[in-house]
Structure 1
Amino acid sequence: MPWASRTPISGVTASWSRPVVNDPWKNARRPSARPPRATPLPPREGATAPPPGRGNDELRLYGWNAVQALFDKRPQALRKLYLVEELIPRLQPLLKWCVANRVGYRVVEEGDLNKLAATTHHEGVVADVLRAPMLELGDWLDGLPAGQPVLALWLDGVGNPHNFGAILRSAAHFGVAGLLLPPGATLALSGAAARVAEGGAEAVPLVRLPALPQAMAQLRAAGFGLAATLVEGGDNLFASTLPTRLVYVMGAEGEGMDRELAQDCDQQLSIPGSGAVESLNVASATAVLLAHWYGQKAR
Structure 2
Amino acid sequence: MSRPRPPSSHKRPSEERPALSERSAPSKGGGREGGKGAGKNAGKNAVKGLLLWGVHPVLSALGNERRRCHRLLATAEVLAAHGPEIARLGRLRPLPQPETAGRADLDALCPPGAVHQGIVLMAEPLPDTDVADLVAAAEGRDQAVVMVLDQVTDPHNVGAILRSSAAFGALGLIMPDRNAPDETGTLAKSASGALERLPLVRAINLVRALEELKTAGFWIAGLAGEATQTLAEARLSGRIALVMGSEGEGLRRLTREHCDHLVKLPQSDLVESLNVSNAAAVALYELVRR
Same-fold call, TM cutoff 0.5:
yes
Q: Is the 8 A contact 2:110 2:116 kept in 1?
A: yes
- Per the alignment, residue 69 of structure 1 pairs with 60
1:143-199, CA deviations, whole angstroms, 9 ceiling, x for partnerless residues? 433233211111110111111111111011001111112354443221111112111
2:244 paired residue among 231, 250, 263 = 250
Residue in 2 that maps onto 1:174: 168
Partner of 1:117: 110
Cα distance, 1:235 vs structure 2: 1.5
Give the secondary structure class of the aligned counterpart of 1:148: coil
Residue-by-residue CA offset, 1:90-120 (whole Å, 9 max, x unaligned): 2324257669947253211111111212234
Q: TM-score, normalised by structure 2?
A: 0.77
Deviation at 1:229, TM superposition (A): 0.6
Q: State the AA in 1 paired with 2:50.
A: L
Q: Does the C-alpha gap of structure 1 residues 196 and 76 become closer, same or farther in structure 2, counting only changes over 3 Å?
A: closer
Aligned to 2:220, the other structure's residue is in SS state strand
Per-residue deviation at 1:213? 4.9
CA distance in 2, matches of 1:108, 1:34: 16
Q: Determine the structure 2 residue equivalent to 1:285.
A: 279
1:202 and 2:196 are equivalent in the alignment: yes
The aligned residue for residue 150 of structure 2 is 156
> Is 1:269 the counterpart of 2:263 in the alignment?
yes
The aligned residue for residue 70 of structure 2 is 79
Whole-angstrom CA distance in 1 between matches of 2:218 and 2:226: 23
Aligned partner of 1:189 in structure 2 is 183
Compare relative contact order (CA 8 Å, sep 6+) and give the higher one, 1 or 2: 2
CA distance in 1, matches of 2:199, 2:68: 15
Q: Matched residues in 2 for 1:160 and 1:35: separation?
A: 22
Matched letter for residue 64 of structure 1: V
Instruction: Report the TM-score, using the length of structure 1 for normalisation.
Output: 0.75
Counterparts of residues 99-138 of structure 1 (less than 5 Å) = 101=94, 103-118=96-111, 119-138=113-132
- Structure 2: which 5+ residue stretches go unaligned? 1-22, 32-44
Report deviation, 1:136: 2.0
Q: How many residues align?
A: 252
**What does residue 235 of structure 2 align with?**
241
Question: Residue 140 of structure 1: CA displacement?
Answer: 3.2
Answering whether residue 87 of structure 2 is matched by residue 92 of structure 1, we say: no
CA contact (8 A) 1:35 1:112 kept: no
The offset of 1:76, in angstroms, is 5.7
Partner of 1:165: 159
Aligned mates of 1:75, 1:210 — CA distance in 2: 22
Larger radius of gyration, structure 1 or 2?
A: 1
**1:153 and 1:176 in contact (8 A); partners too:** yes
**What is the aligned partner in structure 2 of residue 224 from structure 1?**
218
> Residue 159 of structure 2 contacts residue 190 of structure 2 at CA under 8 Å; is this kept in 1?
yes
Contact 1:181 1:209 in 2 (8 A): yes
Contact 1:159 1:253 in 2 (8 A): no
8 Å Cα contact 2:61-2:67 kept in structure 1: no
Alignment-mate amino acid for residue 117 of structure 1: C
Instruction: State whether residues 98 and 105 of structure 1, in contact with CA within 8 Å, keep that contact through their aligned partners in structure 2.
Output: no
Is this contact kept in 1: 2:50–2:122, CA < 8 A? yes
Which string of whole-angstrom CA distances, capped at 9 and with x for unpartnered residues, describes residues 16-59 of structure 1? xxx96xx863xxxxxxx4899xxxxxxxxxxxxxxx9755xx32
Distance 2:73 2:96 in 1: 11
Q: Which amino acid aligns with 1:283?
A: S
Shift in alpha-carbon separation, 1:211–1:115, aligned structure 2, 3 A:
same
Would the alpha carbon gap of residues 184 and 24 (structure 1) be closer, same or farther in structure 2, given more than 3 Å must change?
closer
Counterpart amino acid of 2:258? D
Residues 1:104 and 1:266: Cα distance change in structure 2 (over 3 Å): same
> How many angstroms apart in 2 are the aligned matches of 1:274 and 1:191?
36
Cα deviation for residue 234 of structure 1 reads 4.0
Q: What is the distance in 2 between the residues matched to 1:35 and 1:109?
A: 15
